[in-house]
Amino acid sequence: MTAVSAPGKVLLAGGYLVLDRAYTGLVFGLSARIHVLVRDRDASSSAESQRPEVVVQSPQFRDASWTYSYQLKTEKGGVDVIQLPGASRNPFVETALGYALTYISSVLLSPINPTSVTILADNDYYSQPSGSSTNSGNSNANGNTHFTDFGVRLQDAHKTGLGSSAALVTALTGAFLTHHLPPSAFSLSTAHGRARLHNLAQAAHCAAQGKVGSGFDVAAAVYGTCVYRRFSPSLLSSLGETGSPGFASRVRKLVDDEDSIWDTQVTKEGVAIPPGTALVMCDVDCGSQTVSMVKSVLAWRTSEPEGSKALWDSLQVSNEVLGRMLAEGRRQEDLEKAFADVRKKIREMGDRSGVPIEPVEQTKLLDALTKGVSGVVGGVVPGAGGYDAVALLVKDDKETLEELNSFLAKWSMEKKENLKLLGAKGELEGARQEPEEIYSGF
């Protein structure tokens, strides 16, 4: 068995700005991970089991099993993946499989073995209602307490906004490359291997979501905490449709990047969480329509090019100051001011674009947390903003976490909201291969 995990993300600074190559985003990886386990299917029991198929299961959810057939297309069209009748379509799994198998087929001369895949998500990726069985950390039927049985269909689960699709595509791609390719062709432990994983996962993730995004979430899934400058969208526009003549050759060239065409910038030096503090997430359990929010902000930017540029330039400076102060481990007073300055400019962008990037409710919550809980250094509504989880920098001690949980419980009761401190914390590491023993029962 091969197991690879990839972390979730929180874009602490650089929301919206990260869409433009002129600016950067400060993105932190999270301890919440998506895990993908890959095994060769037993091909000895029957002729049927030897068919070229990939069977994918996500046992934490109901009716979450997908079977895909695959075949090598002519004219170097790559591998065509077709879902067989069964569960509803999962475009991220299907697309990631197609891209991974296409790349692997361009490297290997031998056929790709039928494969069994298990996808497991750490609990913090999905909101768990108060009083539910999932909230108490119940184990699955197989006895493993690390991965909760969410008890619902995948499409009915409430995401917390930690970047599950990017982590899934990255972990699935990394697991397939590690499992099917020899170490001489791919290794997660090398800079070259991580670069190839990044390139392939970016291409697959963009194809799955039907658009070329900024890619900061995939970069965090591969590299962990970093300062990120996006790639030029034109890089992926020449790939063409899956299965089209020459598609495999184009994917291979894009992933191997022998011509140094990728202009992504990922910087890990000088990015840190101050000693004695932790970056934590508070789940608001509402969710936001990120796509429509982004469209509205970009429309405002087009209508006010000079004013929006001046604000974005100013916000970029504030973001860089915050990142530098975090890395230097500055005093709490300095960090509080840096967080406040970033939030002030985010609210201004929201007011001028008509988009609730830091909604009034979130403003009240963040202000109350920073004033009411002594160990809270600062916080933001991360990424595109709205009503997803808020990110907090707090003192990393038992007293602060207890005070924070008590505050959120009281706030939830008074405001009739479902606020909950997630277990995930900021961490520096990206995608990695995992030991088999943590998956007992799966």
Q: Specify the pLDDT at position 283.
A: 86
Residue 414 CA to its chain's centroid (Å): 32
Q: Could you tell me which residues come within 8 angstroms of residue 331 by beta carbon, excluding any fewer than 6 positions away?
A: none
Q: Where are the domains of the chain?
A: 2-268+430-439, 277-426
The structure's pTM equals 0.94
Q: What is the pLDDT of residues 40-84, one digit of tens each?
A: 987 655 445 557 899 999 999 999 999 999 999 999 999 999 999
Kindly report the CATH number that applies to the domain delimited by 277-426.
3.30.70.890
Q: 314-351: per-residue pLDDT in tens?
A: 999 999 999 999 999 999 999 999 999 999 999 999 99
The Cα–Cα gap between 392 and 377 comes to: 7
- For helices 216-223 and 191-209, what crossing angle results, to 10°? 150
Coil, strand or helix: which one is 37?
Answer: strand
Alpha-carbon distance of 429 to 221, in angstroms, equals 9
Higher-pLDDT residue of 133 and 257 is 257
CATH code matching the domain that covers 2-268+430-439, chosen among 2.40.30.10, 3.90.230.10, 3.30.230.10, 3.40.50.300 = 3.30.230.10
Q: How far apart (Å, rounded) are the C-alpha atoms in residues 23 and 15?
A: 10
Residue 246 pLDDT > 60: yes
Q: For residue 389, what pLDDT is reported?
A: 82
Strands (E), 20-90: 25-40, 53-57, 65-72, 79-83
* DSSP character string of 216-275: HHHHHHHH-SEEEEPPPTHHHHTS-STTSTTHHHHHHHHHH-TT-----EEE-TT--PPT
Instruction: Determine the average pLDDT of the residues in 379-403.
Output: 93
Q: Does 277-426 match 2-268+430-439 at the fold level?
A: no
Average pLDDT of the chain to the nearest whole number: 91
Position 159 scores a pLDDT of 84
Q: Is the pLDDT of residue 139 over 80?
A: no
